[in-house]
Amino acid sequence: MNKLAKISVGNGNPIRIMGILNTSPESFYKNSICISKNQISNLAKKMENDGADFIDVGGMSTAPYLSTSISEKLETKRIVNAIKIIQNSTNLPISVDTCRSTVAENALELGVEIINDVSGLKYDQKMIDVIRKYHPSLILCAHSKKITSKNHLIKTKQLLKDSIKIAKSGGVSTKNIIVDPAVGFFRRGGKGFPFTKIDFDWFRRDKEILENLNFFKFGQPCIVSISNKSIIGRILDESDLSKRLNGSLDLEMFSVINGVDLIRTHNVKQSREVVSIAKKIQHRRKGL
């Protein structure tokens, strides 16, 4: 049975919800940004009340189209501060969204149980040493320096397998790994890091990923993070992020129907409702 921290994921378990809490003013979705103690505490409590299973904390934006790089020292400071506040506000397991080993180690020293690495353990060579020392649960994102349009679905799957191999070398069981096919992180070019450079339209790539989620699971539960992202803007022709809620929820329902096991979202309450509706529809269809 697969678990993130102590919570079972996939394999017939309820679809889990991971709430996003960003401490980085640079983040693309401004409504997810919390700076003060009260903001962080209030959002953490709200996520728990709204039905979140986990809280994912970020200290640096990884949006590939933004120039958001900050020092490890500042990222660590933001993360550590947020962790302490969340731990005093809720009992939800905390995931830390980072690809830097120093940040991860400081978080794990505070009792964090999950590392969400958008580089799939490939950005920082020292990350595996931290993983080997603490054995956290992992969310591993598909990542490479470059892939082409030819067989890109197969290549994405292989990238995930490569990251799992790295994790296993650090002593992490596959039962504590969730895979993320990286919607939004494959681009022709970018300013942030890390992202995967591709030679074809990112929208086509992300659309085909969401249509084939079961293909990427190969025994591992799968997470998607699509809330308010560019794919919603492209589908709706909507640049205003405040108008992407309905599109986000629609695409999350599509993901549930296509086999996702965990949704990472800015909109915990609404996403929880979407999951409930989608599962009831699926059960009814199976009973026909």
Predicted confidence (pLDDT) per residue in 69-91, tens digit: 889 999 999 999 999 999 999 99
Residue 288: pLDDT band with limits 50, 70, 90: very low
Percent of the chain at pLDDT > 90 equals 75
Is residue 197 within 8 Å of 188, Cβ to Cβ? Answer: yes
pLDDT in tens, 52-71: 999 999 999 777 766 678 89
Q: Could you tell me the CATH number of the domain that includes residue 147?
A: 3.20.20.20
Position 195 pLDDT exceeds 90: no
pLDDT at res. 168: 97
- Say if residue 191's pLDDT is above 90: no
Strand order in the sheet with 262-265: 177-180, 137-141, 114-117, 94-97, 54-58, 16-22, 262-265, 223-224
Q: What's the structural domain count of the chain? A: 1
Per-chain mean pLDDT for the chain: 92
| pLDDT over threshold 80, residue 223 | yes
Mean pLDDT across the stretch 247-262? Answer: 94
> Cα–Cα distance between 178 and 140 in angstroms, integer?
6
Instruction: Give me the domain span that covers residue 94.
Output: 3-287
pLDDT at 286: 52
| The pLDDT of residue 190 is above 80 | no
Omega before residue 194 within 30° of 0, cis: yes
Q: Bigger pLDDT: 281 or 161?
A: 161
Within its chain, how far is the Cα of 148 from the centroid?
Answer: 24
Whether the predicted pLDDT of 284 surpasses 90: no
The pTM of the full predicted model, rounded to 2 decimals, is 0.94
State pLDDT tens for residues 139-163. 999 999 888 888 999 999 999 999 9
